[in-house]
Chains A and B, each alone.
Chain A
């Protein structure tokens, strides 16, 4: 199994840390992982993205031009990454601030209103974990208990008190995600 994912959105949405938690969770179940962030001018312009690869085999290129799954959290990222989803792949997006919805007919599309839910439920800090939950509902590439272990590994010990809230957010995301187009 190899899953190639791009997660893209604004800086501050927790894009990079979502990828890191996913990577750690993969390690917890003995997978090979790579996490390749954008760190260049696009990051300084306010957008951030990270390529995460989870695989049972040795990972070749950490840099990719097409993905099994794109998780898209703002309009700029929609414009840039909708076309990079492999035919038959998955696009998950948060519709907050999206003016041009995805239009491809050859991919599976899911929507998750995580921004709205996070502000309603007072879960702004764990917004990214709601999105991660939605993704894992669609693609259960890592087990939920490994997400917990991944959180333990990637959060500093002083923040371990927040793990239950993060787990709650993952569950919330699993409920929240809705299919828009299934092939």
Chain B
């Protein structure tokens, strides 16, 4: 079936894509700059379109625990928030990962720390990929850099979450949430029927069945270690099979930007500026922030003379770029803070000063 063309905000695209992906439930609490997700869902009355439940919870803590409950029943469940709200969800995320349940959490980042600002930021990288909650767990993390990807990554995130029984995160930011672009929407996928729900889900004990137990608690350490090893084995498989990235103008590049989300879009313009001036510059864009494209970046390090990691933070992803490159070439960071979006000029000048000239 043909995809439907619309002009939408990134936030609206996520909401519409969730309905169309056959999501069963959304629980959330409003916060700028992502409130359009729930507003759009409420206006669409998805309970009439597909039977999807949309509920405004009393807090972010409640939202994530409602998601936990719905996920335990084998349902496609999601929430969304922005940085301070996502901080409140960290305990729940750790529990959901510990209980090996799938769900989707969308973080439309804003500037921090604390209540910070409502403007775009990318300072939640550490929280997202290094574990904001306790324990050895990872979030499958997708970083969209366009409104189209905001829509497309909803289905991908749900698919990965169910395949690996692990929470998935779409890590976006206020700029992509608020901006409008063309988006081609997939046709409606029906919600899972009763008989299609995964067998591990708790849908009421039927005759002849054992109890299904969903828990993140195991007091016997030997058993808990086994749980951990099982979870870690999934992560090794994720790292082997699910890495996604985009390399733009990298084939002949002598220098590259490494950036995701909004920063990647800005770097793309800076690549054009550099090429017009005769510099061979490319852009490497990690699409999965976990699993991170370590191997691909390491390979690029054999070819280029330097890399500039660009993110709207004080320098978080740059640590992973350095890990990937392992000292082969110079890696520096550039980024504006507190809700300021760096301009293409600033990014290009930073490349000149810190990498090409430095």
Contact = CB atoms under 8 A, between A and B. Distances in A.
B181 A61 contact: no
Interface string A79-122: 00000000000000000000000000000000000000000000
Given A61-B268, A153-B7, A39 B32 contact: yes
Interface in A31-78: 32-37, 39-41, 59-65
Nearest to A32: B182
Interface in A1-47: 20, 23-24, 27, 32-37, 39-41
Contacts of B7: 20, 23-24, 27, 33, 35, 153-154
B182 A27 contact: yes
B343 A65 contact: yes
Nearest to A52: B180
Contacts of B269: 60-61, 64
A160 to B, nearest CB: 17
B59 to A, nearest CB: 23
B182 A39 contact: no
A40 B120 CA distance: 9
B101 to A, nearest CB: 34
Of A33, A59, A61, most buried by chain B (CB within 10 Å of CB) is A61
A48 B353 CA distance: 34
A39 B174 CA distance: 9
Contact of B341 (A23, A63, A153): A63
A62 B266 CA distance: 7
Given A33-B7, A64-B344, A65-B344, A23 B262 contact: no
Nearest to B178: A39
Contacts of B303: none
Contacts of B118: 39-41
Contacts of B175: 36, 62-63
B266 A36 contact: no
B290 to A, nearest CB: 26
B202 interface: no
B246 interface: no
Contacts of B268: 60-61
Contacts of B344: 60-61, 63-65
The range of chain A's interface size is 20 to 34
Interface residues of B, number: 28
B33 interface: yes
A60 B266 CA distance: 7
B330 interface: no
B348 to A, nearest CB: 11
B282 interface: no
B298 interface: no
B5 interface: yes
Contacts of A59: 181
Interface string A137-152: 0000000000000000
Contacts of A33: 7, 180-182
B74 interface: no
Contacts of B271: 60
Interface string B45-88: 00000000000000000000000000000000000000000000
A35 B178 CA distance: 9
A23 to B, nearest CB: 6
B343 A64 contact: yes
Given A20-B180, A40-B118, A62 B32 contact: no
A59 to B, nearest CB: 8
A65 B339 contact: no
B5 A62 contact: no
B189 interface: no
A35 B117 contact: no
B265 A62 contact: yes
Interface in B107-148: 117-119
A62 B179 contact: yes
Interface of B: 5, 7, 32-33, 117-119, 174-175, 178-182, 262, 265-266, 268-272, 339, 341, 343-346
Task: List the 9 closest pairs (A to B, CB-CB), nearest first.
Answer: A61-B269, A60-B268, A35-B180, A65-B343, A60-B269, A61-B266, A36-B179, A40-B119, A63-B341
20 contacts: A20-B7, A20-B180, A32-B181, A34-B179, A35-B180, A36-B175, A37-B178, A37-B179, A40-B119, A40-B339, A60-B269, A60-B271, A60-B344, A61-B270, A62-B181, A62-B262, A63-B262, A63-B341, A63-B344, A65-B344
